[in-house]
Copies of this chain bind each other. A is one copy, B any other.
């Protein structure tokens, strides 16, 4: 029962959101979104948070969904420049399949681009055609131009947001529509459809035959498992069937890294163990992963080249994209359903003990990374941080080398979470995402950023201060854009144009934090263990500027065109051979030439 009968369309839209359990709002206000914002404070069901920049509000809402195990947030901003600023965060939602309601203001209908007879660039103040332009990044995007259409459009937008592979929606609401009488408004509940198959017994029969023959089966667990909220089911499946598994980054924290059947993560910055495993399996069952380049390497003919490949995905656009990977069996369906049914028909396999020995051996080898005696390596810092991570922590790395170092150093247990916005991978994600996680979660939130990335949304220190959020921020400071420098080392003779030297500098982050009223420390080789302890004991927000070895690259890393087993720093042919079950390929022949390749 609605206690506050809405009077206006603005109020009716908010009530519609509340009825659909969307009651956490991320706001940067402005004149033409004011009627909605004004109503929000009147409704006790709603919690809202105000940000300093729209980009951050959007990123926080995306992370809020992920940290809350599926609570959909709403982002309110003005139209025009405010809405433009949302784009990066909207893309983040879309590529991570995160549902989120974006509502932007817009100029009055009678002074809009729709109201005139030609196509000028702008009619009303700060007007831009947001919903038309953003349709490429949303599941539904529309402008509500009459009070009469609002019910229907909300119904369609919510239905799209929640059906099949989820994603963000965008509603532009002109100021005069917000203020219109809601008498034309009717609540029409969303209809959630799921076009994926419910019945996969034929595929399962087929798969069962393959499993019975397979000597080297492997699961690849991806983000789709998290999106279907079936982490527990994945663990049950693995424990029941006892097949080893690797993960994509999207599936990095589904199952504890100390699980005996976990071999490692795969991909360009993955683990050697995970990559060797996926290259040598004879049956690959990929669940909820889109198998993109960052996981397979650029040369698809070299990826897991002797395996029978089974791919389970809810999105037919991913299954049938045909980007060059030979998939032997596609299963269009929900990850949870597949795992439940598979678990019910498959028992542990007898013939894989040799394979289990092999993968266990892979796990036991440790990457060699020589330490510098005087300066801190990001690896030694992050490995120490990993040891000190409390249970139930959530770690959110930003984009850049510190992300890769983090993924290579962190070993979340079954209570810990590690995620980033891997698809859009925007710098500046971690800080607002940590805010989104912190407001729903009283457990420790760890933000890991770099000196370059952190600047992109540095203003959100204000939001943290304003709401007194106990986030622990670590800036892995290598004084430059390290990941691009590493790319310049490989392809541009170490000419660090626009990444270092005269082109780059960074502020004193400790002083910055203090100017925002946030406690801060600096960590170096000498004191980093102590600083980590202090940071972990801190009750409020704390920022740590971690001064690391500028010359530390990411190791291992897969260079473009190489096979996953052949990461740099390169092993000798003998070393690779000792880890391979299938045939090796000659490394120096037909090497991919990176971006220099195309000829017409």
A317 and B137 within 8 A (CB): no
Chain A 6-44, CB within 8 Å of chain B: the 1/0 string?
A: 001000000000000000000111111011011011000
Partner of A136, one of B118, B129, B426, B461: B129
If A40-B497, A487-B31, A595-B35 touch, whether A128 touches B516 (CB-CB below 8 Å) is: no
Bound complex: CA of A514 vs CA of B516, how far in Å? 12
A462: Cβ under 8 A from any B Cβ:
yes
Which B residues lie within 8 Å of A115 (CB)? 323
A341: Cβ under 8 A from any B Cβ:
no
8 A Cβ contacts from A367-425 to B: 399, 423-425
Which B residues lie within 8 Å of A148 (CB)? 600
Partner of A293, one of B80, B119, B125: B125
A597: Cβ under 8 A from any B Cβ:
yes
Distance of A412 from chain B, by nearest CB (Å): 23
Chain A 109-121, CB within 8 Å of chain B: the 1/0 string?
A: 1110001111111
A84: Cβ under 8 A from any B Cβ:
yes
If A81-B88, A595-B176 touch, whether A503 touches B50 (CB-CB below 8 Å) is: yes
Partner of A507, one of B91, B117, B515: B515
Bound complex: CA of A29 vs CA of B497, how far in Å? 9
A456 and B52 within 8 A (CB): yes
A356: Cβ under 8 A from any B Cβ:
no
A322: Cβ under 8 A from any B Cβ:
yes
8 A Cβ contacts from A505-524 to B: 505-509, 511-512, 514-517
8 A Cβ contacts from A115-142 to B: 115-126, 128-129, 132-137
Closest to A322 in B: B117
A596: Cβ under 8 A from any B Cβ:
yes
Bound complex: CA of A166 vs CA of B493, how far in Å? 39
A158: Cβ under 8 A from any B Cβ:
no
A495: Cβ under 8 A from any B Cβ:
yes
Closest to A422 in B: B125
Copies of this chain present in the complex amount to 2
Bound complex: CA of A515 vs CA of B598, how far in Å? 46
A598 and B177 within 8 A (CB): yes
B598 and A176 within 8 A (CB): yes
B123 and A323 within 8 A (CB): yes
Distance of A322 from chain B, by nearest CB (Å): 5
Distance of A506 from chain B, by nearest CB (Å): 7
Closest to A459 in B: B455
Distance of A508 from chain B, by nearest CB (Å): 5
Which B residues lie within 8 Å of A512 (CB)? 512, 515-516
Bound complex: CA of A290 vs CA of B111, how far in Å? 13
A320 and B118 within 8 A (CB): yes
8 A Cβ contacts from A463-511 to B: 465-466, 481, 483-484, 487-488, 491-492, 495, 497-499, 502-509, 511
A361: Cβ under 8 A from any B Cβ:
no
Which B residues lie within 8 Å of A32 (CB)? 595
Which B residues lie within 8 Å of A504 (CB)? 50, 466
Bound complex: CA of A124 vs CA of B292, how far in Å? 7
Q: How many residues of A contact B (CB 8 A)?
A: 126
Closest to A505 in B: B466
Distance of A299 from chain B, by nearest CB (Å): 10
A497 and B123 within 8 A (CB): no
B37 and A498 within 8 A (CB): yes
Partner of A456, one of B53, B175, B481: B53
Distance of A468 from chain B, by nearest CB (Å): 11
A81 and B85 within 8 A (CB): no
Which B residues lie within 8 Å of A81 (CB)? 88, 91-92, 399, 424-427
A-B contacts, 29 listed (Cβ < 8 Å): A34-B488, A34-B492, A35-B595, A38-B488, A38-B495, A40-B497, A52-B455, A80-B91, A80-B424, A80-B425, A81-B426, A81-B427, A95-B121, A108-B298, A110-B324, A111-B298, A117-B320, A118-B320, A125-B293, A126-B425, A132-B136, A133-B135, A179-B595, A179-B597, A179-B598, A466-B503, A507-B516, A512-B516, A515-B515
Residues of A within 8 A of B (CB): 8, 27-32, 34-35, 37-38, 40-41, 48, 50, 52-53, 55, 80-81, 84-85, 87-88, 91-92, 94-95, 108-111, 115-126, 128-129, 132-137, 146-148, 167, 175-181, 184, 290, 292-294, 298, 315-318, 320-324, 399, 423-428, 452, 455-456, 458-459, 461-462, 465-466, 481, 483-484, 487-488, 491-492, 495, 497-499, 502-509, 511-512, 514-517, 594-600
Extra contacts, 6 of them, besides A95-B121, A176-B598 (Cβ < 8 A), are A38-B492, A81-B399, A118-B321, A133-B134, A176-B595, A458-B458
